[in-house]
Amino acid sequence: MADPDRPQIYLITPPAFEAEVFGPELARILDAVDIACLRLALAESDEGLIARAADQCREIAHARDVPLVIERHVQLVERLGLDGVHLTDAARSVRASRKALGGDAILGSFCNASSHDGMNAGESGADYISFGPVGETDLGDGTRAEHDLFAWWSQMIELPVVAEGALDAALIERLAPVTDFFAIGPEIWRADDPLDALQALIAPLD
């Protein structure tokens, strides 16, 4: 039986991938590691390519009872048979997205490092809040989601919280007591063996 206090793993796809390569790799990871949710996070703006990637990921994920959410594209959720959406604009579109998708869809909101935005997103109908990046990165404006934010959130707010962005094993060990999920993707896809990289990254949880 899984430890209820152990943070769950939320897998993020690469921003671009070749279906014939990524499909077997994704299946291998989902068969080896307990994944709570999969996020399709393509940089692609071509609807046809997104749809084909979503079809592949949905077939693999749903065969293993793993829900699939898509980043940003609210209008594609029902059309592509997905389980929900991960929004990246803090609380701004949560209420409208919840109205469009109904109460059963998974709706997540990335709120960078703002507890205020997180609370607003929760009040507007988000199912979870994501804060990040938690590690050092040159991407973005340099703002980091610090341990104190997760500690405060986990103590004061019941809504599940996700830690993501530039994770390493030391950060996972430190944040494990104060987060519900770790969203992992960019940290593993550049490795020769993404499954080995994932297992090494989450080893502190075992």
* pTM of the predicted protein model: 0.97
Q: Which tokens is 131 given? A: 């804060």
Residue 2's pLDDT is 54
Tens of pLDDT, residue by residue over 26-83, are 999 999 999 999 999 999 889 999 999 999 999 999 999 999 999 999 999 999 999 9
Tens of pLDDT, residue by residue over 83-120, are 999 999 999 999 999 999 999 999 999 999 999 999 99
**Least trusted range by pLDDT, from 6-10, 126-130, 140-144:** 140-144
DSSP state of 99: H
Contact 96, 89 (CB under 8 A): no
Q: What span, in angstroms and rounded, lies between the C-alpha atoms of 121 and 78? A: 22
Residue 139's pLDDT is 79
Sorted by sequence, the CB contacts under 8 Å of residue 112 that are 6+ apart come out as 90, 131, 132, 140, 143, 145
Q: Which tokens is 5 given? A: 């206090």
**Helix locations, the chain, DSSP H:** 19-32, 47-62, 76-79, 94-101, 115-123, 147-156, 169-175, 186-189, 194-201
Contact 85, 70 (CB under 8 A): yes
Q: What span, in angstroms and rounded, lies between the C-alpha atoms of 52 and 186? A: 21
Contact 178, 32 (CB under 8 A): no
DSSP state of 7: P
User: With bands split at pLDDT 50, 70 and 90, how would you rate the model's confidence at 1?
Assistant: very low
Q: What span, in angstroms and rounded, lies between the C-alpha atoms of 199 and 68? A: 21
Domains and CATH numbers, the chain: 8-205 (3.20.20.70)
